[in-house]
Structures are given as C-alpha cells and as structure tokens.
Structure 1
Amino acid sequence: MNFFIAFFQTLLVSFIEMLYLVGGMIVVGFILGALERLSNSYLTRAFGPKGVMVTAWIGTPIHEIGHLIQCFIWGHRVSRVRLLQLNHPSGILGFVEHHYNPNSMYQQVGNFFIGLGPIFSGIGSLILGMYFLVPQSFLAFKTEVEQHIQFQQLDLTLLKTFWESISIICKSLFTIENLINPLFWLFLIMAFSISSHIALSKADIKGSARGLSTIFIVLVLLNIISRLLNWDTYDLIVKLAGYNTYVLAFSSIAILFSFITLLISILLFIIKGRMVR
C-alpha cells in the first residue's frame, strides 16, 4: 500500500514539476492560437481564403523557420522544407518534414520544442524587430522588465506580470516619436504579419503532445531516482521554472499584436459587410 501511495505522490510531483517547466509556454501557445483562429476567421469571412495571404509573406516563413531551428537543435533529420507555398491545393502555406529516432529520449523530448518552434521564432523575431527598427522602445521595454519583473512561481501572481508587461510594451512602443518614425510603421507591418501566423497547427500540437509525454516520463524517472537517493528535486525545478516570468513578459509582445490583429480583422469584417449592403 505504501508503495502505491509513494508512486502516486511521485506521479503528482512530476506532473506539477512539468507544469512549472513548460506550463507558461503551453498557456502562451493556447492564447496565441485562439487569437489567430479568430482573426483568420474574420478575414476569411470578409475577403475569402486569400484574406490571410496578405500577411503570409512574412509570417509563414518565420513560422516554419521556428520548426526548422528546433529540428537542428534536437537532432531530427529534416527531409523536406517549404517556407512558403501560396497555391497549394490543401491550403497549407508551408511545412517542415522531419524524422527522429524513436529510441532516443532526447529526440523524443525535442518533439515538444519543435512543435512550439513558431512561438520561439515569432517572439524572437518581434524582439529583434524592436531592437533594430525601434531601438529606443526596445531599450525602454528591456529596462522596465529588468527593473520591475521579478521571478515568480507559476500561480495567479503571474497574471500581474503579464498585465505589467502589456502596459510596459504599450508605453514604450506607442509614443509620439515612434508615430512619426517610418521604421516604426515598418515594425508594425512586420509585427502584424508575424503575429498572424505564430499559432500552432494541429500537426504542431500533436507533435508537441508526444514530446510532452516524454518530458513527463523523464521527470517521473528522475523523481524515482531522487527518492531512492533522498534528493529533493522539487525546489530545484521550481527555481529553474522562474524563467516562466520572462516567457510571459516577452510573449506579451506577440499576444498584444495578435489581439490588435484580431481587432483590425473584426473592423475590416464590419466595414466589408456594410459595403456589401
């Protein structure tokens, strides 16, 4: 009986640790996915299937490059890549076809990060865009994050971090100096295009789920070993998971522009509907 209780506790601790390690990324992925699906639905209803093509020139290659980079990091063999294809019968705008060794736990864990690759490349591209096109805004955002955003546990207090990050990015970006700066408008075009194609496809989510299950198994094995050796891994995992604060802080850029893109899509849908009448 004690064995089953100990095993159940190990499973529970492993699940909580998994949430601490990757929960922030999963939440960001779901939020971005929901916003993109809503935006695309309004654009499609207003302008047909080609309504989402306007932003595909920039957004889709960034999306696929995210998968590609993670494939290289996690040792997957890439067989075919299409960064952008506009006239495919299935409507698929791009893809990365990759293969992995099912006997390699490292490569199996990699499935999770490969699936989430577009989130990393999308957020990274937005940050680089700020750095090169609106450097003063980037510096202001970076400084505010370093001064006011502290490591938090994965709980409801992270919502405060998220709203603070949104406030900081709005305050640093939407200034009078930027409004008269042509590079700022170039950044906006890039940001809207990337945010419109940052969400994960069903295939991406399926691949990530395979990797997530492997991460859970690794944590279970780690906790079993730690129990046998009287090690405490929980506190270590919680401290490592402090990066979730920064995941939310920097992902707020993508979430903000995804939300603005949704508002623009709704506005275009309303305008198109009234013109038809």
Structure 2
Amino acid sequence: MITYFMQLNVKLLFVLILFGFIMGQTRHAAIQNFSNKNRSYLILDFFNLVGTPVHEIGHLLFGLIFGYKIDQICLYRTTKKALHSGGTLGFVKMHHENRSFLQKLQGDFGQFFIGIGPLLFGPFVIYIISLFLPKNVRTLPLSFQQDWTIFFKALQQLQASDIIFLFIFLYIIIGISLNMELSRQDLHLACKGLLFLEVFFLILSGLSVLFHWNLQYGIDILFRWNLLISSVGIISALIANLISLI
C-alpha cells in the first residue's frame, strides 16, 4: 500500500509539477528575451498557435468535468498583445457553485486537475493525433528504441508524403509541449486541491491491496509517457531560449 502511494506521488505527481514548473520558467525567460527584439514574437506565435488553445482547453475540459460554470474564454492571443495588455496568451475564467458539502468537495477536488489540466490534456492530444499518422511514421519511435540501424532503415523507407506528415507532427508536438507549462496561477489552483488528491491516492493504494490490483504497469507507462513529453517540452523551451539570445 505504502509502495503504491509513494510511487503515485513521486512518479506521477512530482514529475508533472516539477517538469511543468521548469518548462514555465524556461519559456518565460525566452519570452522576456524575445521582447527585446523586433519581430521575434513571430517565432513564439508560430508555435503558440497550436499549443495555447490546447493549454486552455485542458483547463476548460477539467472545469466542465468537475461541474464548474464557464464565465469567459480566450483560447489565443499573440505574444505581443498579451504582454502589452499585461495578461496571458489565453485564459479560462470559471466558478463553482458550492450549494452543498458534496458540491464543495467536488469543486475543491477539481481544482488540482484544472490547474494541471494542460499537462494531462496535451499528451492526450499528441497521442490521439499519432494514431492517424501513416504507418511508416508511427513505427519510427519503436524503431528508435530497438536499434540505431533499424531506425535509419525506417527513415529511408519514408515517402515524400510521410516526411510532410512527420514535420507537421513534430510541429504539433513542439507547440503543445512548449505550452504545457504551469503558470503561478495554475500552481496556486492545483495546490488548493492537492490534499484531496493525496486522499484519493491513499484510497486507491488501499483498494489495490484489498482487491489485489496491480497498479505497477499503469504507473510505469504513465511515468515514461510523462518523462517523454516533458523532456520534449523542456528541450524545446531551451532551444527557444537559446534562439532568443542570438
């Protein structure tokens, strides 16, 4: 029981929050560097065009799941416009009607998932899109895991249309990964529901022992997936940061 509880906290919760915070700080530094250069916003806007709406929909989706009422939505603003107006690239304003104890419990528990929504919804969107890629492109990650020789052979088998789909997919991955960061508001909101998440982890760990559920496989899959997407996001943010310094 304690083993599952610790793994849920370390491999899932800690990884999500830590990498989300690192991505946010790196991306914020890049935006500040770009703000000193003319027309440099176009680079960020090019990737934000896909990533920012996905980020905000991540908040919106979990808000709707936990019964929040949506007041106002902005899925995308250019970087320059957002900085000049003192706001963010996008936002979702919502409220929860706490008319009963159960509603208050639902609203408080939902705050964590609303806060980290982009970290959960972003990888989900990438996975769904990957299912519609040509077969030659979908086999590349598996080939890369097996051997460099197999990977290069798989690359050589790509047709012109496959390469176009590959670059479009890479653009989507980078755009979504760059916008999976957690803002201070997101972290603050997530922390409000953290206690309820810990209770959920504790109950899930207890039930796994009682009913002999094997959670290890699911935890490991989610852990590797989070590491992969988070690493892409951090690397993309670092590259953007380096470009902003040139």
**CA contact under 8 A between 1:123 and 1:253: conserved in structure 2?**
no
TM-score by length of 1: 0.67
CA offset at residue 210 of structure 1?
A: 1.1
- The answer on 1:215 being equivalent to 2:204 is no
Any gaps of 5 or more consecutive residues in structure 2?
Answer: none
Cα distance in 1, alignment partners of residues 233 and 136 from structure 2: 22
Please show how residues 14-163 of structure 1 align to structure 2 within 5 Å.
19-23=6-10, 24-46=12-34, 48=36, 50=41, 52-86=44-78, 87-88=81-82, 89-102=85-98, 103=101, 104=103, 105-138=105-138, 141=141
Q: Which residue of 2 aligns with 1:151?
A: none
Which digits, 9 at most, give the CA deviation of each residue in 1:130-166, with x for residues without a partner? 222354443565x79xxxxxxxxxxxxxxxxxxxxx9
Measured on the aligned residues, the alpha-carbon RMSD in Å equals: 3.5
Which digits, 9 at most, give the CA deviation of each residue in 1:20-47, with x for residues without a partner? 4454144123213303422441353145
**CA contact under 8 A between 2:23 and 2:180: conserved in structure 1?**
no
CA offset at residue 78 of structure 1?
A: 1.4
> Cα distance 1:94–1:188, how it changes in 2: closer, same or farther (>3 A)?
same
**CA contact under 8 A between 1:82 and 1:94: conserved in structure 2?**
yes
Q: Which residue of 2 aligns with 1:6?
A: none
Cα distance in 2, alignment partners of residues 234 and 124 from structure 1: 25
Any gaps of 5 or more consecutive residues in structure 1?
Answer: 1-12, 145-165, 224-231, 273-277
Cα distance in 2, alignment partners of residues 192 and 114 from structure 1: 22
Q: Which residue of 2 aligns with 1:268?
A: 243
TM-score by length of 2: 0.74
Residues matched between the structures, number: 226
**CA contact under 8 A between 2:67 and 2:107: conserved in structure 1?**
yes
Q: Which residue of 2 aligns with 1:246?
A: 221
> Cα distance 1:25–1:167, how it changes in 2: closer, same or farther (>3 A)?
farther
- The answer on 1:175 being equivalent to 2:155 is yes
Q: Which amino acid aligns with 1:79?
A: D
CA offset at residue 121 of structure 1?
A: 1.5
